[in-house]
Amino acid sequence: MKNTAFTAKHIALGAKMAEFAGYNMPISYSGINDEHAAVRNNAGVFDVSHMGEFILKGEHALDLIQRVTTNDASKLSDGQAQYSCLPNKDGGIVDDLLVYCVEANKVYMLVVNASNIEKDWNWISSFNDKGVEMHNISEKTSLLAIQGPNACKILQPLTDMDILNLKYYTFTKGTFAGVEHVLISATGYTGAGGVEIYFEDKDGASEKIWDAIFAAGAAQGIKPIGLGARDTLRLEMGFCLYGNDIDDTTSPLEAGLGWITKFSKDFTNRAYFENQKAAGVSKKLVGFEMVDKGIARHDHAIQDASGNTIGKVTSGTQSPTLGKAIGMGYVNKEFSAIGSEIFINIRNTAIKAKVVKMPFA
């Protein structure tokens, strides 16, 4: 397993560690429910340095991004970011990602999922026929996500950058906690507010920034947060997790990501998705909450009242905020309307649930 620059910190703090995407990552410290509440109500720090970062440079950088992603990156100006995905040639998704516009038409940063770094790099490279300069900076880049309603207030004294007024899906660059060339963005994966901090792991920068954040947030009660709470937080917001809710077999239209699928430009397999949109999808990703007692888990079958399989669960948990079991899953289109009654097969027992609007919280 690989370590991040913060692995020793996690272990020293008594984190429960486990392998995730090839990295030794903290799953929880004080418990998922406690950490979840800390982010929803105050502030918490996630080590997400396992994520991948690619730099694309040159006069054809935007052309390459336009070719391989579904969203329209030409709309981005300096300091703006965008959620997008990489469509494959079979109607599925190679990965979902963030596109950061560092210098319009010239320099971009792509942030991809940890488990897909090599896969994404090879996929994007296969379309690079115009000499775009590509750099995989994943190994040397540290990334902390400080999330929660008090996150920016805690961090602001550590920098001259105005992060208190940083708009959603924008970013800024400058000095943070005495470390230069730091990129701070507001994209979020928890729905609780806050920022992400990208910086090169060199000359003790990682330890310096980690220590500064916890010193600044000590009085406020800032906490380290593991990937367990990250999952419950994102699920309450209805955010997709690659490998669970979206993958190589699910289309962005089926996943409710039509809003990032722009037919105003050309992209890989565009005709397939245009035809799918015109014909209508046969299955849809929906949110549901359990009516009867039980917690849905990944790959549980979803059934109708007669016991026929109509889909499968992709994510499920007990929502710490709502105090009820929630989940996401694909169902046949005719069962996707809000209020539809469905059943989750849990240990060969059909447990009643209903389709609800997302986000849950």
Q: In what order do the strands lie in the sheet with 133-136?
A: 80-87, 93-103, 107-112, 52-57, 133-136
Strands 44-47 and 223-225 come out as parallel
- Quick check: helix, strand or coil at residue 79? coil
Distances (CA, A) of 97 to 83, 120, 265, 288: 6, 10, 18, 25
Q: What is the pLDDT of residue 27?
A: 98
Is the CA virtual torsion 37, 38, 42, 43 positive or negative? negative
What lies within 8 Å, CB to CB, of 293 at 6+ separation is 325, 351
CB atoms within 10 A of CB 126: 9
pLDDT above 70 as % of the chain = 100
Helix (H) / strand (E) element for 98: namely strand 93-103
Q: Where does residue 155 rank: exposed (0-12), middle (13-18), buried (19+ CB within 10 A)?
A: buried
* Amino acid at the residue 231: D
Q: What is the pLDDT averaged over residues 244-272?
A: 98
Token pair 């998704």: residue? 93
- Check residue 119 and give its pLDDT: 98
Whether the CA torsion 290, 295, 301, 305 is positive or negative: it is negative
Q: Give the per-residue pLDDT at 310.
A: 98
Neighbouring CB atoms inside 10 A of 87's CB total 23
Query: What does the radius of gyration of the chain's CA atoms come to, in whole angstroms?
Result: 21
CATH number of 282-356: 2.40.30.110
For domain 52-134, the CATH class is alpha beta
Can you tell me which residue has the tokens 């097969």? 345
Instruction: Give me the amino acid identity at 265.
Output: K
Q: Which of 87, 138, 106 is nearest to 276 (CA)?
A: 87
pLDDT at residue 129, as a whole number: 97
Task: Report yes or no: 51 and 138 within 8 Å, Cβ to Cβ.
Answer: yes
Q: Which helix (H) or strand (E) holds 103?
A: strand 93-103
Q: For 7-48+139-236, CATH number?
A: 3.30.1360.120
Give pLDDT, residue 253: 98
Q: Which of 307, 293, 285, 297 is nearest to 355 (CA)?
A: 285
Summary mean pLDDT of the chain: 98
Domain ranges of the chain: 7-48+139-236, 52-134, 282-356
User: What pLDDT band is residue 354 in, cutting at 50, 70 and 90?
Assistant: very high
Q: Can you give the pLDDT at residue 23?
A: 97
User: What is the pLDDT, as a whole number, of residue 294?
Assistant: 98
| pLDDT for res 167 | 98
User: What pLDDT is recorded for position 114?
Assistant: 97
Q: Which amino acid is at 111?
A: V
- Cβ of 93: how many Cβ atoms within 10 Å? 22
Question: What Cα–Cα distance (Å) separates residue 280 from each residue in 75, 253, 254, 273?
Answer: 27, 9, 9, 10
pLDDT value at position 69? 98
